[in-house]
Structure 1
Amino acid sequence: MIVLAIDTAGTGCFAAVYDSATDTVVASAGADIGRGHAEQLMGFIDEALAAAGKVLADIDRIAVTVGPGSFTGIRVGVAAARGFALALNVPAAGITTLAAIAEAAREAHPERAILATIDAKREELYCQSFEADGTPRSEALMLEIPEAQRLFADFDGLICGTAAKHLTDPPLENAAQTDLTDIRLVGRLGAAADPSQGKPSPLYLRGPDVKSQAGFAVARA
């Protein structure tokens, strides 16, 4: 299966052509851009396809990160994935960033349960636990640090991700310091996903930072 994998849920903007038969990325393109996902994503997709020697008609499935992460980035990636899936008449799978983090940890530690974490800032964490086989053990949650520490105090597996330092005693010295997702694992999880799960939808866990200033609204005539 040839999967077009898209990741715009964090500061990175990446696209890759993934081959599930060999569990490899045939070609990829992208960069850690911070902002501007909408302006650059299509160019990265074209670049990845060209480098792989593929065209859109060769794609069997779309996989996209759906969050939690950057509110605007998630919207851009999900909209693109749903548009391609509709145009190509292929399934699209939404992959959470927490699932991708857990999959990376499972590759290195295949026999252990995983607690995937992301630093959500504002003294809050995104967390989700997974069994050793990758099955979710809990829902994806946004928790204040003390609540997360209480909830996962007796976690019996490996804690990983950018917020792991808040949940281990002593703090992990080598905890990940980036929210960049391995695009190969997005492709792998997308290829393994149930195509009947429906269209990918954003997983925000937190509302947008920008809110309308209702007190300054002008009354309609």
Structure 2
Amino acid sequence: MKRTVLAIDTATAAVTAAVVAHDSRARNHVLAQRITINGRAHAEMLTPNVVASIAGAGLTMGDLDAVVVGCGPGPFTGLRVGMASAAAYGHALGVPVYGVCTLDAIGVGSRGEVLVVTDARRREVYWARYRDGVRIEGPEVNAPADVPVGTAEAVAGSPDHAAWFDLPRIDVAYPTPVGLVAAVADWPAEPGPLVPLYLRRPDARTLAERGITVPR
């Protein structure tokens, strides 16, 4: 079965939108893409990137058969932009929306055992390990010194954070459109709900969590 897929991800500094042609033999071809590297512009850049990608592919929104979105791990604000947009597109167009782990979109095409890391801020990384493109551990969030490298032979993901590991680096810094589509398992007719992978509590805390009592 052939599908025309809108692939988006906002879990990293890359605001990614692309139109990908997918067939039942798991062959994926990018028809058009727009990727902006700006970790503070998810809300501003995602919709223009989607519109530009669809126009670049010579298509309209009505030509889309499915939406694939990265569900993290990533920061709350970035994930909310991408996942809410994906859900809205799916609802408006009447097409299924598939959520995938953003780290899988980086590790899915790897060979051997590979560690994938992305920026979790607070001097921490989101990470997962892959063997021949299949996730075998993670996703988790840790300080780099606490990441169980195991028998990983290389590291992929954010260059600044991959540099913290004494491993050869694979030149895949962000989730790719082909990787996002390739990470969808079995393409069920009715995909499950979109579940964000925050992996830790948000920075904001309630008054009670901060030990502040509000007079009644």
**What is residue 36 of structure 1 aligned with on the other side?**
41
Could you say which residue in structure 1 is the equivalent of 2:72?
67
Match in the other structure for 1:88? 93
- Distance of aligned partners of 1:208 and 1:79 in 2 relative to their CA distance in 1, 3 Å threshold: same
Q: Which moved more, 1:191-200 or 1:29-38?
A: 191-200
Residue of 150, 153, 156 corresponding to 1:160: 156
Aligned residues: 207
Counterpart AA for 1:200: L
SS in 1 for 2:138: coil
Alignment pair present for 1:186 and 2:143? no
- Partner Cα separation in structure 2 for residue 31 and residue 159 of structure 1: 23
Match of 1:77 in 2: 82
Q: In structure 2, do the counterparts of structure 1 residues 196 and 128 end up closer, same or farther at CA, with 3 Å as the change threshold?
A: farther
Which residue pairs with 1:137 in the alignment?
Answer: 136
Alignment match, 1:125: 125
Q: How far apart are residue 199 of structure 1 and its match? A: 2.2
Amino acid at match of 1:14: T
Name the counterpart of 2:200: 206
Q: CA deviation at 1:210?
A: 3.3
Bigger Cα displacement from structure 2, 122-131 vs 78-87: 122-131
Going from structure 1 to structure 2, the CA distance change for 1:33 and 1:123 (only over 3 Å counts) comes to: closer
1:16 aligns with 2:18: yes
What's the % identity of the aligned pairs? 32
Structure 2, unpaired ranges of 5+: none
The higher-RCO structure (CA 8 Å, 6+ apart) is 1
Cα 1:87/1:165, change in 2 over 3 Å: same
Shift of residue 66 of structure 1? Answer: 1.1
The 3 A distance-change label for structure 1 pair 12 and 167 is: closer
Distance 1:56-1:219 versus aligned 2 partners, 3 A rule = farther
Q: Distance in 2 between matches of 1:192 and 1:25?
A: 20
Tell me the secondary structure at the aligned position of residue 198 of structure 2.
Answer: coil
CA distance in 1, matches of 2:30, 2:75: 24
Q: For the residues of structure 2 that align with 1:87 and 1:102, how far apart are their CA atoms? A: 31
Which amino acid in structure 2 is aligned with residue 209 of structure 1?
D
Alpha-carbon contact 1:92-1:195 (below 8 Å) kept: no
User: Which 5+ residue runs of structure 1 have no aligned equivalent?
Assistant: none
The 3-state SS of whatever aligns with 2:108 is: helix
TM-score by length of 1: 0.79
Write the letter of the residue equivalent to 2:183.
L
Match of 1:47 among 52, 71, 82: 52
Q: Give the conservation status (yes or no) of the 8 Å contact 1:71–1:208.
A: yes
Report the secondary structure of 1:136's partner residue: strand
Q: What is the Cα deviation at residue 219 of structure 1? A: 5.4
Aligned-pair distance for 1:54? Answer: 1.4
* 1:2–1:20 contact (8 Å) kept in structure 2: yes
TM-score when scaled to structure 2? 0.81
Q: Quote how far apart the aligned CAs of 1:114 are.
A: 2.3
Q: Greater helix share, 1 or 2?
A: 1
Question: Who is 1:3 aligned against?
Answer: 5
Which has a greater percent of strand? 2
